[in-house]
Chain A
């Protein structure tokens, strides 16, 4: 048996370098500006925004004032925290970065290489389309067996707000949604006082597939303004996507580990890989903690996962 030798390891690094450069060059040519993200975050600031993150998995550090810091598990949070305090109204940023995220994975600290794209301060019909197009251009360059999954957090938010669950029920219900556990969700809701929006909640797992299939399933279900807003946004995206690719699926029950998303969310998968290759979405309300709502959307490309797929396909 032979284990990893220096030659193969160097070979891997060169492949990773080339992959990184390819994507960086593409993004640079598309007019995105490069930034270098910090690897530290404040623990409280991070977990305050991202309540669903597994706190045990964060890698903690102490600074010289005994403040707890973490090695960044998500770079977008750091970018918002970096720019928002000195944000000037009217600023538009279109940027990309290469960075690493850090998590305890039970055995040790897992470093994860990723490439990220963010557009902050601009929002029109084209912004969402541009970002989706950028994501699709990247993923389709590396495999034709890809799939883009799109959801909208406003839909679920609309139900959850109308049900006004307490914090414990809210978290438990999100967990069941994340697991797509329909029967236990139904049992859980049956123990709570009935509210009309729950009728849509128990049927939310049927709201997946093509956009037209979802529209059919929606008939007769409870909808409110926020939910309709989410659906209308998806309708516009679907119109655009129909001209771009047919490798698209929609899921209105999409729950993210990061809770700052506010609007369209999307993932990109490649058949044969066991993780998301692309993760992203709109996070306008994230900036609200700084006193103003700045439109923002972005995504990350999981380079470690992507390179595994490329190796498998023998490229």
Chain B
């Protein structure tokens, strides 16, 4: 039975493609090409190369059966999918950061939060009982506190180098983030064996990666 797999473009996708290729799957994938659809004719698998934030949309709508997406995107979208396997790649943290040394907010004023992840930020701060105003940005989030647009930012932190370079620091880690293999709910019913086989193959590669990194 044919299977369609959504892969994000960029570093996460490259790592995933390496895992597929080293298990002999998807040899036709060429990341340097402008093509966005690749077929493994032998195994009847179609790969879609997508913007990372679109992987969930394709999987949830059933255009792709399974996909690889960051947990950050999954939390933000609150999608109706299965989270079948948590990978060792794409590890980072979703954190609250701000200007170094200004982490105390004593009055009951509303904190301005600049972020690409408004839903996740709302949920997190509401669980802490902190009122916030969301400022939705699409990039260069670190600039917001420096220019007075926001008090803090909620963003992905990998090494923290970008924060330090901009005079910011992490105030609080919110969630650990990993890449996950997600599946469409209905595809999983009809193609359970195929999907579980692929996950088993990737799991082996992924555990090797986990041990070496």
Contact = CB atoms under 8 A, between A and B. Distances in A.
Nearest to B180: A181
A49 interface: no
A261 interface: no
Contacts of B62: 274
B150 interface: no
Interface SS, B side: mixed
B18 interface: no
A16 B43 CA distance: 40
Contacts, number: 36
Interface string B23-66: 00000000000000000000000000000000000000110000
A276 B186 CA distance: 8
Contact of A269 (B84, B85, B86, B189): B189
Interface residues of B, number: 15
The size class of the interface chain A forms with chain B is 10 to 19
Interface in A3-62: none
B190 A147 contact: yes
B186 A183 contact: no
B184 interface: yes
Interface of A: 147, 149, 179-184, 208-209, 249, 269, 271, 273-276
25 contacts: A147-B189, A147-B190, A149-B189, A179-B81, A179-B83, A180-B82, A180-B83, A180-B183, A180-B188, A181-B83, A181-B84, A181-B86, A182-B84, A182-B85, A183-B85, A183-B86, A184-B83, A184-B86, A249-B189, A269-B190, A271-B190, A274-B62, A274-B184, A275-B186, A276-B186
Interface of B: 61-62, 81-86, 183-184, 186, 188-190, 192
